[in-house]
Structure formats: structure tokens, C-alpha cells
Amino acid sequence: MKKFLITTSLFLVIALLFVVSVFVLLNLSFSESPVEPKAVANETVLKSDTFVSKTTPALDNVAEQEMSEVPEKVGIPLSDIPLSDTQKDTLDMVGVDADTFVVTPAMEVCAREKLGDERLADIVTGSAPTVMETARLLPCLGE
């Protein structure tokens, strides 16, 4: 009985070490340096709508002028890009609406850094990203 308890305890310790090492390796592979917000002079960025309105208002009229101006779109709407069925399924899986989502230049730069030029070109031409590539691209959605 004593031998069984020692063997079982040893097995559990080894399994725990294995789980912890996999967890640490996954965190290291997905970790990235913290991104500091970029100060943009004379621009108001509305991230939720992915619009940018360029203004240089007086301080007392800021709210009035921003409300009266029509924002200009920045980026490429996904609705303008022909997507394969697997790409649409991947977008649905991560909660992105392909009809309203806009790919900004910052997102494109982030995707290039994460996947490289060659793989990004494959995805743009119709190849679906793998699960790992999708996980690497998720932080780019916020840019």
C-alpha cells in the first residue's frame, strides 16, 4: 500500500510539473510587450466605429464641432473583400461581423508582425488562418 501511495504521488507531481510547464510555454508564446496608447495630435479616434475625424477646433467648441462633422472612414471594410467560407467561419468564431468590420492600417501592421508577409498574403488570397494564427491575431483586433 505504501508503495502505491508513493508511486501515485510521484506521478501526480510529474503531471503537475508538465501542466505548469505547458502553461508557461503557452503564455510566453502569446505574450507581447504592452502597447502604450499613441497620442494623436489634432485627431479624434473613435475606435468602436473605426472612424477618424480630423479636427483643429477651439477648446470651447470641441464637442459641438465633433458632433457636426461627418467622420471619414479609415481602413478596408471586410465587406469589400471576397472571403472564403472558412474565413467567414473563423471570423464568426472570434465574434467579428464581416459586414461591418473595418481593417485599419494599424491592424494590418500588427498582422504582418505576427504572421509575416508571406503567410499574411496567403490569408488575404483566401487561405484560412489556423487556430494558432487566429490566437496570435486576436490582439491585433483592438488596434
Q: What is the pLDDT of residues 50-81, one digit of tens each?
A: 444 444 444 445 445 554 554 455 778 888 88
* Cβ atoms of residues 102 and 77 within 8 Å: yes
Q: What is the pLDDT of residues 16-37, one digit of tens each?
A: 999 988 888 877 776 654 444 4
Residue whose grid cell is 503557452: 26
Query: What does the domain layout of the chain look like in residue ranges?
Result: 1-31, 36-74, 75-143
Beta bridge partners of 45: 52
* Cβ atoms of residues 74 and 107 within 8 Å: no
* Cβ atoms of residues 134 and 27 within 8 Å: no
**pTM more than 0.85:** no
Residue whose grid cell is 465587406: 79
Work out whether the CA dihedral 4, 9, 12, 14 comes out positive or negative: negative
